[in-house]
Amino acid sequence: MPRLTTASRKEKVTDVFKMKHTIGSELDPNITATMPLFTKRRKEKVSDIYDLKHTIGTGAFSEVVVAEDKKSGEYRAIKCIEKKKIKGKEDTLENEIAILKQIDHPNIVALLDIFEDKMHVYLVIELVSGGELFDRIVTKGNYTEKDASEIMKQILEATTYIHGKGIVHRDLKPENLLFYSPDEDSKIMISDFGLSKIEGQEGMSTACGTPGYVAPEVLKQLNYGKEIDIWSIGVITYILLCGYPPFYDENDSKLFQQIMRGDYEFDSPYWDDISDSAKDFIRHLMDVDPNSRYTCEESIAHPWISGNAALTKNIHQVVSENIKKNFAKTKWKQAFNATAVVRHMRKLGLGDVKARLQKKEEENSRSEESNSQEGSSDS
């Protein structure tokens, strides 16, 4: 599979692609690039190289279109980003592209090429067609701990790779985990590096991501590092084994407090048939203290991942039913960007979360002492 190279293509985008339909009202395939967003860009038009087919996804700033390479006949996905919608946020896109250009791993969706015209930036990426992680599990006839373990091993290996380059994904969640193809033995792929950062880069204390999957230190607005990805992987593993999230509350304030305390359980009867090894693995990844939380390497070395501890009993019925029940809730799937999370937390009175948690713990401690004294006096 070809990857993005520094060599420049000589064709025009219109030489390779035929425009099938308009991506936004202002797109013109014959526009020449002016005021480039990037210093290194293709001189060709995207329609020279690719035959754009149909839209497969839309977002706040872009559309994703299936495209066929006019020469090779290979299919790609092209993310068409409207410049006017990212005005003032160009640094974020440049950051994402800079990170993707460093990455070459079989379990990460690759950036293959970049085009730019007056109105749009076009990111040509691998087309993955196997669907989202949860959708695949629901449609499977048989699903075991071992299946979950094999999925998580691939995710951990890809995460080990990016962590080795100092990259923190910052938004690992099931929606960003896609199967490469519909094949039964398809590999899993990590996508969407829009919130990724280089460890130590400015902004590594900014709250971001999707609330149900973020680590406690993110919500506490502390400086953080690659450990936050490990926490997210722990949350995903938890869901893969029972079909519901470890943290949930209709009240966002209570949800955030649960996460910051690491307040989750392995509820009966849903976890009765799950191995102790799987639970031990999750505990090490979902450790509230990032300093004692497992690294990627330690996670991969765990018997549930690399040994024979993962059970082969079919857990499909319980897990798939719970996924269908719990993840139809758009509230859980809602993604918060960095600014929105901080604003939302402050709105809920969680601005100084460290002080609030400490106060809450002191109140709980006093309450326990009071109850203990009352119990002593009653006796």
Distance CA 296, CA 156 (A): 6
Active-site option among 171, 192, 229, 287: 171
CB atoms within 10 A of CB 175: 17
Which amino acid, 333?
K
Burial of 307 (0-12, 13-18, 19+ CB in 10 A): exposed
Side-chain-facing half-sphere of 375: CA atoms under 13 Å = 6
Cβ proximity of 121 and 36 under 8 Å: no
What does residue 113 show for φ and ψ, rounded to 5 degrees? -165, 165
- Known binding residue 140? Answer is no
Is 135 a known active-site residue?
no
Distance CA 370, CA 339 (A): 41
> Which residues fall in the annotated binding site for ATP?
79
> Which residues fall in the annotated binding site?
79
**Catalytic residue list:** 171
